[in-house]
Every structure is written in C-alpha cells, then in structure tokens.
Structure 1
Amino acid sequence: MKQVYRSKTAFVLGWVWVAFVAVNAWDLTVRFNGKPSLVAAAILGGLTAIVYLVALRPATVFTESGLVGRNPLRTTFVPWASVGDVTVSHSINVQHDEQLLRLWTPMSTARERARAQRRAAPRTQRPSRFRTEPAMTRGEQAAAEAFAGKTHADWVGEQITGRAESARRREEAAGPARTTWALDAFAVLAVAVALVLAAIVVP
C-alpha cells in the first residue's frame, strides 16, 4: 500500500494559489487587452511554477518495494534494503549506496521542534479545585506517547528506518537506487518560460 507524506500546510496553500490563478487566468482570457494581459499571465505563470516545484510536487512516498523521494526537479527510488542511516535535522537525510538523499518533505522547523520538546516536558500540576484534565482514550494516549518530543519529520524518519530493517530481516535484494528527472516539473517550467517569452516578444 502506498503512503504519501508531505507538508500539509504547503500542499493546501499551493492548491489555494492554483485556484486563485485559475480565476485570474479566466479573467485575463475574457478581458484580454494585449501586452498588459500577457505580462500579468507571465507573472502568474512564473509564480505558479515556483509554487508547484516547492509546495505541490515534493513528497516522500512509501511503496511496497522502496522509498520514493520526489524533490522539485528529480525523483529518486531507493529499495528498502538499500536504505542506510537515516538522520533528521531540518530535513530527512537518507544514506544509500554511499550517497545521500535529502527529502524535501516533511521538514522540521525550529518552531515545530520547540513545540515537540514542550510536549515531551513533564507538566507541572497546580492545585486548583476548578482545574480538570480531559481523559484521553487509549489510542490518544498511545499517539501522544509516540509523538512526545518528536516532529513529523522525526516520526517519518523512524518509519523509514523501520521499513529498511524489516526488508533486511526478510533478506530482500538491496538493488541500486534510481534517479530520474521530473518531466512534469520541466513541463511546468516550459509553460512559464513560454509565457514570459510571449510577454517580451509580443508588442
């Protein structure tokens, strides 16, 4: 079963931007007035390409056979048995075949790490007859313990390590990683460049 991890905030904001651009593209088409419309379209196209590359395309994907890291311009597939050390700093870094795959998402910001550390810190109880603590279910308590002191990136990094160790225990083949250029990313860039050229060339 395929599992996809990414920055939810960036993904949602990216699609909000796409909706905004779609409305404006319709308006520019209906009220086309030559050069000004082309310049506006070029600006929207350039910004949309950037949003697609940094917010919509990046993802960390778990498949049955391996880890897929979708970065802005390239896609890397690493068989689970070939995954080496996994470290988490600002990003998730995966060692494989004496190379390093840096996953673009999910990332760990300083604010998120500070928030995770506050969650892990023991709470001091102040006596008050009016203070009540909501009772957590077993599932909620297990989730709180699992995420205590960890960011989303830390948790995903642990899942990658667990999958890799399971694959090695099953003695799966440790094949080479494969990296390919992202054709969809270059297609989006090509459209943005074409709009910019049109805005420059057309009088």
Structure 2
Amino acid sequence: MTTPREPQYADRSFRSTAGIVGGLLLIGFAAWIGGDALVTGEGRVRWIAAAGLLLVVPLIVAFTFRPVVYAGDDRLRVRNPFRTITLPWAAVADVRAGYSSEVITRAGTVYQLWAVPVSLRERKKATRRQDRAAAGAGPDAAAGAGADQTVADLRELAERGASRPTAQGDPHVRWAFEIIAPAVTGLALLVVLLAV
C-alpha cells in the first residue's frame, strides 16, 4: 500500500510593488537622459553616456526588480541585489522584522530580506487599528503591517517544513555576477573616460 503524497504547490513569492514601480520610473528616466545623450551627443559624450548606462541600469535592476523572496515546501530562496541565498527550512532558526526583515540561520548568520521592506509608518497605523479594536471603538483589525504578516507567514512555513526530510541541508549563497559584471565594467569605463 502506498502512502498518499502531500500536494505540491508552487513557491509563494514576496516582493515590493513600490520597488518595481520605482524601478520602472528610474529605468524610464535613465533611458530618457542616456538615450538623448547617445542620440544627440557628440564626441566623448556618447561614450560617457553608454558607460553611465552600463553602470546605472544594472544597479537599478539590482535594487528594484531583482529582490524577491520565494518560499516553498522545502526551502526559502532569498534573492537580494547582489546574491541569492537558498536556505532549506531546517537551516532557518528564525525570521524577524525589526527595522528590516531578516532571516537567521541555525549557525547564526543573518540575511536581509530586501524584498520585504518594513514600514514603521504602516506598523504604527496597524497598531492604532488594533488598539481601537481592542477598546471596542471600531471593527476588529487582526492584520498587522505588511512586513509583519509576511514574516509571520514565513515563520509558519519554516516551522512546518523544518522536519521534512527534503528540507534538510546547508545554506547556499550564489553571487549575482550577471548584475555585478556589467556594473563594474560600466564603472571602469566611466572612470577611464572621465580621467582621459
């Protein structure tokens, strides 16, 4: 007799909508300014604009579009601006949100969750709503701030997944050379062009 398998679900993803909107605006601004310099510029201006875009565009992508947290049955994958950290649930000791959201491994290493920004203003508003609800002055507002709710969800997933045999292992860190290499190349070209 075979034992029934647990259903497999796609990883849940957490990311900042404001970061994506900001990234789109910054990419548009860089394309407008850099594109204008590439088209209408003369002499070294075109080369400086190209080097500047080669530096700026990967950095915009790194800090706005790239950050995301994927939470699955067996692991947590944190994609930050310059690296991706894969943590099996058994390696996660805690997930917390103070002034920033972070995950702590059993070895004591702390990784920031760039995709889960903490808004102290939002947290204060949620606290005020909960206080009013507790005093009976308004509807019950059980939900806290967005980052706090995400951290609570990640904690629950960590607790459920930690004992799973497929969720064992050590953390793995991979650097995002696809972001780092063009940015460093753009910086080097920009320094050379401005120095000459």
TM-score scaled to structure 2, two decimals? 0.78
Does residue 27 (structure 1) correspond to residue 21 (structure 2)? The answer is: no
Q: 46-55 or 6-15: which moved more?
A: 46-55
8 Å Cα contact 2:102-2:110 kept in structure 1: yes
Does residue 66 (structure 1) correspond to residue 75 (structure 2)? The answer is: yes
Q: Deviations over 1:13-60 (max 9, x none)?
A: 111211222233332332131223444444454443432332222221
Q: Deviations over 1:142-165 (max 9, x none)?
A: xx53x2xx2221111111111111
What stretches of structure 1 of length at least 5 have no aligned partner? 127-132
Taking the TM superposition and a 5 Å limit, the aligned residue runs for 1:108-147 are 108-122=118-132, 144-145=141-142, 147=143
| RMSD of aligned residue pairs (Cα, Å) | 2.8
CA distance in 2, matches of 1:118, 1:188: 46
CA distance in 2, matches of 1:47, 1:115: 35
Pairing partner for 2:45 from 11, 36, 47: 36
Does residue 101 (structure 1) correspond to residue 111 (structure 2)? The answer is: yes
Does residue 175 (structure 1) correspond to residue 169 (structure 2)? The answer is: yes
Alignment match, 1:188: 182
Pairing partner for 2:99 from 85, 90, 104: 90
Q: Deviations over 1:89-132 (max 9, x none)?
A: 02222221312222122121321221221222216889xxxxxx
Alignment match, 1:199: 193
Instruction: Give me the identity figure in percent.
Output: 27
Q: Secondary structure at the match of 1:122?
A: helix
Q: Secondary structure at the match of 1:179?
A: strand
8 Å Cα contact 1:38-1:198 kept in structure 2: no
CA distance in 2, matches of 1:198, 1:167: 51
TM-score scaled to structure 1, two decimals? 0.76
Matched to 2:159, the amino acid is E
CA distance in 2, matches of 1:73, 1:192: 16
Q: Secondary structure at the match of 1:121?
A: helix
Q: Secondary structure at the match of 1:154?
A: helix
CA distance in 2, matches of 1:81, 1:41: 46
Q: How many corresponding residue pairs?
A: 185
CA distance in 1, matches of 2:16, 2:127: 20
Alignment match, 1:48: 57
Taking the TM superposition and a 5 Å limit, the aligned residue runs for 1:5-20 are 5-20=14-29
8 Å Cα contact 1:10-1:55 kept in structure 2: yes
The 3 A distance-change label for structure 1 pair 14 and 125 is same
What stretches of structure 2 of length at least 5 have no aligned partner? 1-9
Alignment match, 1:3: 12
8 Å Cα contact 1:91-1:108 kept in structure 2: yes
CA distance in 1, matches of 2:42, 2:178: 30
